[in-house]
Structure 1
Amino acid sequence: MLRIVNRVLIGIIGLALVALGGSVLAVGLGVRPPSWWIHDGRHDVLLSDAERTRWRDHGWWWPTVIAVLAVLVLLALWWLAAVLRRRRLTEVLVDTGDGQGALLRGRALEGVLAAEAGQLDGVDHAQVLLTGRRGTPEARVQLLLEPHVDPGHALHLLTAEALAHARDSAGLAALPAEVRLRGVKHRAERVS
């Protein structure tokens, strides 16, 4: 629902800005505007000298204008960051086999997948993040490997066991994964 609201708001704001900018450009290029339009002709300004200097003598005017514009810029940046941020998948659609389906919490599947990956031979720690859509989730897996482990073998165990179990138990056709492998860095210890 939030995604739909964001798209509708972005569409409305975009259309308004394109219409306003296009009309100002058209008036600037010499198109005769309607009588009710805010500009009279190509040499007209947005704010006349009288309108611009009307509040100059009031000490509250310019700090208020600057504060309101700063708040609007901060809100626009916050909204842009919220829209562009990759979100964690909250639920996964599980095929129950009867044509219906069930919803599984994304964090539950992440936890089970991380626990199973963490128990693999040579894996010190595992983290899992699910992204994508609820019908086609994608996994981001980070494995912290022990120093003696072959990374290829650890990757094979992850795909053949943990990811395959998660895919099969959720009834997914595929579970693509981006896997990042890192080695454990042990601190040097003094041996006597």
Structure 2
Amino acid sequence: MSKTIAAKALSRSYTGERTLTFLVGLLAFLGGALALVVGFGALGEFRGRRALLDPIAVAWLGSHATPARIAAIVLGVLLFVLGLRWALRSLRPEPRPDLDLDRTEGAELVVTASAVADAVQADAEQLDGVSRARVRAVGSRTSPALRITLWLREGTDLKAVWSDLDGRVLTRARESLGLDSLPAAIRLELDTAPAKRVH
């Protein structure tokens, strides 16, 4: 399994949030850099000593106070709505996609995300050395992926578990679902041994 395939399964689709955050950060960085350049007098002593707001702009705003206030209120409301939408989108639960195995009208066949996760989990728990497993189906209907956490017993052969997981469990899941690829992010943990009572 390549790192890019595993990363696809690990990463939630935050493309919009990351792009917006990058653009806001870039604008803040450029604004700060420009303020430093002007403040240190690199663009001339006069500009470095001028007020932050240009007197001509202040005079224009004073003569057009009503339209300026309306524009400021509209901009503030717009930024508030966009920020609220951004926050709600970031906090929403990650989708668990159901898979369409057959889209023929009248004979549709859909496998739920929980059914896929339960089947893979049951297979994974049968592997030698695995005490328990947790599986989640993530991604989208067209590009599903799995997140698998395996708890291993002490002394388990890690290579054998990895080979069986990739060769048996994931291969069976791909073939059963009719998928060419099924990215999976796998997390391995050592299961805690039960505490021994001292008599």
Conserved in 2, the CA contact under 8 Å of 1:151 and 1:181? Answer: no
Match of 2:100 in 1: 93
1:136 aligns with 2:155: no
Match of 1:182 in 2: 189
1:83 corresponds to which letter in structure 2?
R
Q: Distance in 2 between matches of 1:169 and 1:29?
A: 71
Label 1:164 to 1:190 Cα distance change in 2 as closer, same or farther (>3 A). same
Q: Distance in 2 between matches of 1:42 and 1:75?
A: 26
Label 1:150 to 1:30 Cα distance change in 2 as closer, same or farther (>3 A). farther
Post-superposition offset of 1:186? 1.5
**SS across alignment from 2:61:** coil
1:42 aligns with 2:49: no
Label 1:171 to 1:125 Cα distance change in 2 as closer, same or farther (>3 A). same
Matched positions, count: 133
Q: Distance in 2 between matches of 1:171 and 1:145?
A: 29
* Unaligned ranges ≥5, structure 2: 1-15, 17-53, 70-76
Conserved in 2, the CA contact under 8 Å of 1:144 and 1:181? Answer: yes
Pairing 1:73-84 to 2, within 5 Å after superposition: 77=84, 79-84=85-90
Task: Say which structure, 1 or 2, has more relative contact order (CA 8 Å, 6+ apart).
Answer: 2
Deviations 1:116-169 (A, max 9, x none): 111111111111111111122111100011112122221211111111111100
Conserved in 2, the CA contact under 8 Å of 1:96 and 1:171? Answer: no
2:113 corresponds to which letter in structure 1?
G
Label 1:82 to 1:163 Cα distance change in 2 as closer, same or farther (>3 A). farther
Post-superposition offset of 1:74? 10
Q: Distance in 2 between matches of 1:157 and 1:29?
A: 73
1:167 aligns with 2:186: no
Conserved in 2, the CA contact under 8 Å of 1:94 and 1:172? Answer: no
Conserved in 2, the CA contact under 8 Å of 1:95 and 1:171? Answer: no
Post-superposition offset of 1:191? 5.6
- Percent of residue pairs identical: 28
Post-superposition offset of 1:90? 3.1
Q: Distance in 2 between matches of 1:136 and 1:183?
A: 30
1:119 corresponds to which letter in structure 2?
Q
2:119 corresponds to which letter in structure 1?
V
Q: Distance in 2 between matches of 1:96 and 1:156?
A: 34
Once superposed, what is the RMSD of the aligned Cα atoms?
3.7
Deviations 1:97-132 (A, max 9, x none): 9xx863211111111111111111111111111111
Conserved in 1, the CA contact under 8 Å of 2:97 and 2:144? Answer: no
Q: Distance in 2 between matches of 1:81 and 1:189?
A: 47
Match of 1:119 in 2: 126
Q: Provide TM-score, normalisation by structure 1.
A: 0.56
Q: Distance in 2 between matches of 1:184 and 1:106?
A: 26
